[in-house]
Structure 1
């Protein structure tokens, strides 16, 4: 099976890491290309091998097509990559395409108009988000439109499967729930490495995520400020993102008097030394689909505090059995949970075993094979006829 797995760029996000792992696993049996609209990010061909890597917006000797200049994120960028992406897809001629993340669906949808390539979309973020009534309405409409025209849809969390947008498609079998997973066999063994920002006798709380309001770092900063009234603690935030948001977060730490104990540590291609060196992993998101960072924290054995609004966090943590759950709007309760996990931790134990990536990947492969077979049936010529042009 010729499979293309599409991502918008190669940033160090949970979606990108998952799709890279998927491409590498599928390459054992299939001809697989990890296709990015742009190569921006810290990952590249070496990380994707043995699968092939192609960036549609850059000149490549393997792909017929032109060049689209580097542009930043947003709707203009997603439109700008469409011509090169379409040409690249025509050159690759895959049997099926897996669109790995919400951010890239729009570009791929436009690029595949009229190409008769079966597309399976992965939905990994909540449809309903606080304070966004009109955008929520548009998001529901657009997601429903995507699923109706797709060869299939994969939902990474039960919160998505139970939403009004996807429930009818789950009932019909067009959309399936496949919880996120991580490859436990690939989790590196502890080697004693302690990243410099965590090399402190003061207990460190680690957060991982793109610097965007979705991740609700404000609540975590407020909780750390409240916790520091009881004992010294530090906060390390691993990730990059919106400059304006980071500036606002830095201003918040300064206003609370904790700027020296909050570190914005940037990006890494290996989160496990950070997780093992931290005393607590904290997830404060307003919304999620299903957090990969949460699973990685469980695999590292790091005590966890997660917001009840962070997608499937309550289900993953078995309603508090394997980590603490909090209301992210209650800074004092959040602080108390952080301090408890430092002093008398509730550990994640073996819970992550049910989220092992091979289980997820086999389920994905079944969905893609079904989509490919359905696509072949649609384009097969009638007896005595000629096949349609792809």
Structure 2
């Protein structure tokens, strides 16, 4: 990207794919419709507008039509370079930090956050762990990429899943923090009495978590359910797997935000989720139900909630339709992009870079 057109930089200084990286990958193409935005760092698709490290000296000059540009960090390792460039090298930058963490910050992290020009929390619960002023902007989802299947049976068959079975799924890295064992235990309790259901675990176990997955597979085999609780591995093209589901379970013990319930609901799939991350802020219970929230770490409670939706077809189907409508109305990625754009424009001042038209006023979620 031409530095004169670059108004916002989204650094990504972590090679391995993570939720933060996924957020950047999904957001930047939408943001680029109204802003001169570029990514910087490894582990990102070549299709994204990007800067090279050799272009960083260009940060001493503000972009065309602006007094400053924005450096939007999402990790400590990205906040620190922004502080150095703004305060020591005197580059015309404003610093934004998005926090997804739901734990007390270390003194070092508090020091970094205290030097930001604006702070965004991804949920109200996340915001409760921040000491200073902040704005809550919930994540959004690409509702065109994640959408209901026009033919559920065909969606299952295309993935090699039994088209005649109802499918309940749990997606994400296979590890204790993600609660994969809680899902497996719940399915071992539920499936013997529900022959019309099959469960799938989609995700990868890495390093020390490989033995954890091996132990889960042994428990499934010992229960005689190896043909009905399937470990399907990691998939880069995940939307078709959501479209094959009839029910999604998010069993995490801890989560910063957690996009998987939104991805499932956008696909017309109701959700049973642990009360972690932003799940209680995005899932509707009661009237207009889109799913059920259960206490974190309790396999029995999860099994009861999942069993209720598995056994009541009308309730489950209605919750899936409600889920799609809810996400489309409140959690589109365009809403998130507009809300962030409002933060950027407030900090940058001036008129937009040449050739760009500001989008409509930002939406605060």
Task: Tell me the TM-score normalised to structure 2 length.
Answer: 0.76
Q: Cα RMSD (Å) of the superposition?
A: 2.8
Task: Give the Cα–Cα distance (whole angstroms) in 1 for the partners of residues 164 and 34 of structure 2.
Answer: 48
CA distance in 2: counterparts of 1:221 and 1:249, whole angstroms: 10
* Corresponding residue number in structure 1 for 2:336: 360
CA contact (8 A) 1:211 1:239 kept: yes
The Cα offsets for residues 228-281 of structure 1, whole Å up to 9 and x where unpaired, read as 232244332223353321321221331352444433333334332111211211
2:171 matched residue in structure 1:
208
CA distance in 1, matches of 2:79, 2:227: 45
Deviations 1:44-89 (A, max 9, x none): 123x3xxx135xxxxxxx542xxxxxxxxxxxxxxxxxxxxxxx64
What's the secondary structure of 1:198's corresponding residue?
Answer: coil
Contact 2:71 2:82 in 1 (8 A): no
Higher RCO (CA-CA < 8 Å; seq separation 6+):
2
Question: Which residue of 109, 125, 141 maps to 2:79?
Answer: 109
| 2:257 alignment partner, one of 286, 290, 297 | 290
What do the CA deviations read for 1:312-348 (whole angstroms, capped 9, x no partner)?
Answer: 2123223453201223433233222222222311614
CA distance 1:188–1:222, shift in 2 (3 Å) = closer
Map 1:304-343 → 2, pairs under 5 A: 304-308=271-275, 310-320=276-286, 321-343=289-311
Q: TM-score w.r.t. structure 1 length?
A: 0.71
- Supply the distance in 1 between the matched residues of 2:272 and 2:247 (Cα, whole angstroms): 7
Q: What's the CA shift for 1:362?
A: 1.1
Q: Which residue of structure 2 aligns with residue 220 of structure 1?
A: 183
Where does residue 99 of structure 1 map in the other structure? Answer: 73
- Following superposition, the deviation at residue 13 of structure 1 comes to 4.3
**Residue 269 of structure 2 is aligned to residue 302 of structure 1:** yes
Match of 2:155 in 1: 193
Structure 2 Cα separation of the partners of residues 110 and 254 of structure 1: 45
Q: How many residues align?
A: 314
Deviation, 1:373, is 4.5
Cα separation, 2, equivalents of 1:368 and 1:14: 22
Name the SS of the counterpart of 2:193 in structure 1. coil
Alpha-carbon distance change, 187 to 259 in structure 1, aligned in 2, over 3 angstroms: closer
Mapping for residues 20-35 of structure 1, pairs under 5 Å? 20-35=25-40
The answer to whether the Cα contact below 8 Å between 1:44 and 1:53 also exists between their aligned partners in 2 is: no
1:363 Cα offset (Å): 1.1
Map of 1:66-105 to 2, 5 A cutoff?
Answer: 89-90=56-57, 95-100=69-74, 105=75
Find the aligned partners of 1:318 and 1:300 in 2 and give their Cα distance. 16
CA shift, 1:227, in A, is: 0.9
Extract unaligned runs of 5+ from structure 1: 55-61, 65-87, 128-135, 375-390
- 8 Å contact from structure 2 (residues 31, 37) kept in 1: yes
Is 1:145 the equivalent of 2:111?
yes
TM superposition shift of 1:302: 0.6
Deviation, structure 1 residue 110: 3.5
Partner Cα separation in structure 1 for residue 293 and residue 111 of structure 2:
34
Are 1:181 and 1:356, in contact at CA under 8 Å, matched by a contact in 2? yes
Q: Distance in 2 between matches of 1:238 and 1:53?
A: 31
Other-structure match for 2:90: none
